[in-house]
Structure 1
Amino acid sequence: MTLVKDYKQIWYDIIYYLSGSLCYSIGIYSFAKDAGFAPGGFSGIALICNHLWNLPIGTMTLLFNIPAILISYNVLGRGFLFKSLIAMGLCTLFLDVIFPLFPVYEGDPFLAALYSGVFIGVGLALLYMRGASSGGTDFLTLTIKVLYPHFSIGFVTLVFDLLVILLGWPVFGSIDSVLYGLASTALTSLVIDKIMYGIGAGKLVVIVTNQGHAIAKRIAEISKRGSTLLNGIGTYTGTSRHVLLCACTRTEIYTICSAAKEIDQGVFVMVTETSEVFGRGFIEGSVNSQALPVHNRKNKRRKYRLPSSTPSY
């Protein structure tokens, strides 16, 4: 049974790596290559080299990744780097061998930037979901994060990407190249978050009331949702109150709020966004469980798998 499960996971890895590398390469080669801008990361530098000296994009990206791998090997761990090398090899194959056989998009550069961001985001999300990466500045970003914990990953990534995007200004000879690069990078981050977190996204309804048990029972009857009942004290009135926490989908918000209002006219309701909801009635397990940081206590060394919100190119 375990052997069958292992084979199943291997096939999942292959499908995700191929699909992710294909989408990523479409975004880079088919849309960004001749659009006059550079997205962030090493692939952006490779596009600049291709524009100036006609050097192969995939090979240059791979070469830029070699020193980053050597620097971050002890931090990121063998497993993550091995999977990333497979993804990088596939990306190189698509970028330098397969896609040059097909025409590239030569229309509106702004549309090219948008579609580039979408395809790159989809590709990276698929790789992240299997604990891999296309390489790029992720390696350096996570290494810096370990050495300087007070730096945020988003800040370090933004600095790297911004430097590459700004470098495209004198190379492509237009300020538009910076705007297109920013649009592509921003859309890439948005698509990654929507794919990896949007799948399990939902709402959290917080209900403050004097009739918590009755409202919880009513919610269970009409929406089949359970809720968590907490005891609280209102600091303004000094009275004891019930606090109900109910995770639900967007379509269930009105029903749950109406049920609370029906039981208690003076109820206090707050609705907040949740990026992921796991458990019965939602998603069993985590969609990005392979992309979370792991601390190795045995050798007192941190090994990081790529967080979903960090685009790498």
Structure 2
Amino acid sequence: MKINWKRLPYDIFIDVIGGILAAIGVYNFAANAGFPMSGVSGIALIFYKLFGLPLGATIIVLNVPIALLCYKSLGKEFFLRSIRTVIITSLIMDYVAPLLPVYNGDRMLAAICTGIFAGLGYALIFSNNTSTGGTDFISMAIRARNPHVTLGRIIFVLDAAIVLLGGAVFKDLDATIYGFIISYLLSMIVDKLMYGIDAGKMTLIVTDHGQDVADVIAKYSDRGSTIMRGKGGFSGNEREIVMCACNNKQMSAIRRAVKQVDPNAFTVIMESSEVLGEGFKEE
């Protein structure tokens, strides 16, 4: 694999910032509060509580068999980037997080902070097309085969099983509940940061006045649109379908404008998790 030396400092910077945030969530909040954390970090926490093994080193050891199993699904480039990230984040977990204050307050606040800090850290790392290994490898491998499923949902399902395992080991029902709260917050934050920032609306407008609808969309929202040909499944009539992607605020103006041009238009409005291309986020 050819290394992009110009980009490498930026990649390492993202790994460090993401690793610090994730380590704070796991070590400074979850570990001290006795939460059955999710992912490989959660398994490492079980060993940490039972045997006092260092979190970062345990995470590296646990990653070896998972990495070997997921290597083909992930590809060489992503795999090697992730190995770099695993090493950096694990070192931060063992040598940086212990230098920071540990939270000893309310467990609910600890759970919320765990989800927020870890979610921010993982979202930064995922957004840079790398991962912290472990169930992240499994999540990325699953998503590679099922791109329609968001990372947050995959993470939540995998992590729920580990949270239940941790709750059974520590025999703490409250901690198990907090663990699920953490998993939900973490997955939600990952999805919002990775997809929500660029989220918007997409509309399909079935009409007899396609060009007029496209013109009024451009006039009132400054958005382009695509006109496609369609045929009614029941009536067999030929109609035009106008497709337009926009942000949430622009959709309201588009709805009113379309109604004025064609009161009989059939309009479908959908959520779009991310929009790439001219006028939106560049790939």
TM-score when normalising by structure 2: 0.88
How has the CA–CA distance of structure 1 residues 258 and 140 changed in structure 2, closer, same or farther, with 3 Å as cutoff?
A: closer
Match of 1:132 in 2: 130
The alpha carbon displacement at 1:158 in A equals: 5.6
Task: Letter of the 2:191 partner, please give it.
Answer: D
The secondary structure found in structure 2 opposite 1:265 is coil
For residues 6 and 76 of structure 1, the distance between their equivalents in structure 2, rounded to whole angstroms, comes to 19
Matched-pair contact (CA < 8 Å) for 2:156–2:187 = no
The secondary structure found in structure 1 opposite 2:223 is coil
Task: Letter of the 2:270 partner, please give it.
Answer: T
Q: 2:269 aligns with which of 268, 271, 280?
A: 271
Matched-pair contact (CA < 8 Å) for 2:14–2:128 = yes
Range moving further from structure 2, 254-263 or 134-143: 134-143
For residues 118 and 190 of structure 1, the distance between their equivalents in structure 2, rounded to whole angstroms, comes to 9
Task: Letter of the 1:277 partner, please give it.
Answer: V
In the alignment, structure 1 residue 282 sits paired with structure 2 residue 280: yes
Match of 2:89 in 1: 91
How has the CA–CA distance of structure 1 residues 196 and 156 changed in structure 2, closer, same or farther, with 3 Å as cutoff?
A: closer
Range moving further from structure 2, 155-164 or 269-278: 155-164
Range moving further from structure 2, 214-223 or 72-81: 72-81
How has the CA–CA distance of structure 1 residues 260 and 141 changed in structure 2, closer, same or farther, with 3 Å as cutoff?
A: closer
Match of 2:52 in 1: 54
The secondary structure found in structure 1 opposite 2:96 is helix
Per-residue CA deviation, residues 71-112 of structure 1 (Å, 9 max, x unaligned), is 334443433232222212222222111221222112222222
For residues 131 and 124 of structure 1, the distance between their equivalents in structure 2, rounded to whole angstroms, comes to 11
Match of 1:29 in 2: 27
How has the CA–CA distance of structure 1 residues 121 and 66 changed in structure 2, closer, same or farther, with 3 Å as cutoff?
A: same
Match of 1:231 in 2: 229
Q: 1:166 aligns with which of 142, 164, 179?
A: 164
Kindly, what percent of the aligned residue pairs are identical? 40
For residues 274 and 187 of structure 1, the distance between their equivalents in structure 2, rounded to whole angstroms, comes to 21
For residues 139 and 5 of structure 2, the distance between their equivalents in structure 1, rounded to whole angstroms, comes to 33
Give the unaligned 5+ runs of structure 2.
none
For residues 143 and 277 of structure 2, the distance between their equivalents in structure 1, rounded to whole angstroms, comes to 31
For residues 237 and 51 of structure 1, the distance between their equivalents in structure 2, rounded to whole angstroms, comes to 67
Matched-pair contact (CA < 8 Å) for 1:142–1:153 = no
The alpha carbon displacement at 1:197 in A equals: 1.2
Q: 2:119 aligns with which of 103, 106, 121?
A: 121
Match of 2:110 in 1: 112
How has the CA–CA distance of structure 1 residues 280 and 142 changed in structure 2, closer, same or farther, with 3 Å as cutoff?
A: closer
Matched-pair contact (CA < 8 Å) for 1:36–1:109 = no
The alpha carbon displacement at 1:141 in A equals: 5.6
Match of 2:259 in 1: 261
Matched-pair contact (CA < 8 Å) for 2:56–2:94 = yes
For residues 74 and 179 of structure 2, the distance between their equivalents in structure 1, rounded to whole angstroms, comes to 28
Range moving further from structure 2, 8-17 or 222-231: 8-17
Give the unaligned 5+ runs of structure 1.
286-313
For residues 72 and 235 of structure 1, the distance between their equivalents in structure 2, rounded to whole angstroms, comes to 44
The alpha carbon displacement at 1:205 in A equals: 1.5
In the alignment, structure 1 residue 217 sits paired with structure 2 residue 215: yes
| RMSD over aligned Cα atoms | 2.7
The secondary structure found in structure 2 opposite 1:33 is helix
Q: 2:242 aligns with which of 241, 244, 266?
A: 244
Q: 1:179 aligns with which of 177, 180, 183?
A: 177
Matched-pair contact (CA < 8 Å) for 1:141–1:153 = no
For residues 206 and 185 of structure 1, the distance between their equivalents in structure 2, rounded to whole angstroms, comes to 35
For residues 203 and 142 of structure 2, the distance between their equivalents in structure 1, rounded to whole angstroms, comes to 38
Range moving further from structure 2, 136-145 or 73-82: 136-145
The alpha carbon displacement at 1:40 in A equals: 1.7
Match of 2:101 in 1: 103
Match of 1:78 in 2: 76
Match of 1:290 in 2: none
How has the CA–CA distance of structure 1 residues 144 and 6 changed in structure 2, closer, same or farther, with 3 Å as cutoff?
A: closer
Match of 1:18 in 2: 16
The secondary structure found in structure 2 opposite 1:39 is coil
The alpha carbon displacement at 1:256 in A equals: 0.7
How has the CA–CA distance of structure 1 residues 74 and 210 changed in structure 2, closer, same or farther, with 3 Å as cutoff?
A: closer
